[in-house]
Amino acid sequence: MTQLLPSALVDAIDDLGSLPGVGSRTAERYAYFLLRSDKHISEKLSTSLLKLHSGVKNCPITFALIDSNETASALYSDPTRDKTLIAVVEEPLDIIALERTGQFNGTYHVLGGAISPIDGVGPEQLHIPELLKRIVKDKAKEVIVATNASVEGESTALFLQRNILDAGIDVKLTRLARGIPVGVDLEYAGQITLSHALEGRRLF
């Protein structure tokens, strides 16, 4: 069958369509928009994407995303942040959601996902050992498990609880409580919702 569109445009549509949440029709609109727009827009986008991997890395302590020239997350190295209070989240973008509430002055620890056997994610792929070391090193008084209100998030929270107890670490362990409906990712929860969840956190 004769190809209806130029190969360069087809390639752009295919590549854009490989992004999560972008269907074929949306990919076509994005590609056509870039084609019709000033070429500098595409060049700027290309430059940003090329710099993405070289300009971003994980903090070796918290596993948050930081600039490649930084040695640690600013939210951890900031002397005004309470290192004895650690919020454990699944992904780096969850930090932004909690920070927007203005209710949290502790530090963060990014697990790098949640336990999900279906997706091939096991406990050994998460930054749990590093968290246990941090709790001891920073003499943490409270660990807030802020994983998503999903089956995977709850499973991960229970696994964390068991690991902390098995390690014999004496720390207050709490979980985000009311305000976050089941099935809603932390990243998409509203500021008021997250504020209530922080205020109403409960003991495991």
What residue segments make up the domains of the chain, in order of their start?
7-56, 65-203
Sequence-ordered list of residues with C-beta below 8 angstroms from that of 55, at least 6 positions apart, any chain: 67, 68
pLDDT confidence of residue 203: 65
Kindly write down the DSSP assignment for every residue of 93-118, as one continuous string. HHHHHHHTTT---EEEEE-SS--BGG
Q: Which two tokens stand for residue 134?
A: 């941090």
Cβ atoms of 76 and 61 closer than 8 Å: yes
**Comparing C-alpha atoms, which of 175, 174, 127, 179 is closest to residue 153?**
175
**Comparing C-alpha atoms, which of 15, 17, 22 is closest to residue 46?**
15
pLDDT confidence of residue 3: 73
Distance CA 102, CA 104 (A): 6
So what's the architecture of 65-203 in CATH? 3-Layer(aba) Sandwich (3.40)
pLDDT confidence of residue 2: 46
pLDDT confidence of residue 190: 66
CATH superfamily for 7-56 is RecR Domain 1 (1.10.8.420)
**Comparing C-alpha atoms, which of 87, 58, 53 is closest to residue 70?**
58
Distance CA 18, CA 6 (A): 19
Alpha helices in 59-177 (DSSP H): 74-77, 93-99, 128-137, 151-166
pLDDT confidence of residue 175: 86
What's the pTM value of the predicted model, to 2 decimals?
0.79
> What DSSP designation does 43 have?
H
Distance CA 176, CA 104 (A): 12
68-78 per-position pLDDT tens digit: 999 999 999 99
Task: Give strand pairing partners of 145.
Answer: 88, 175
Which residue type is seen at 170? D
All residue ranges of the chain with pLDDT < 70 are 1-2, 177-193, 195-197, 199-204
pLDDT confidence of residue 197: 66
Which residue type is seen at 153? G
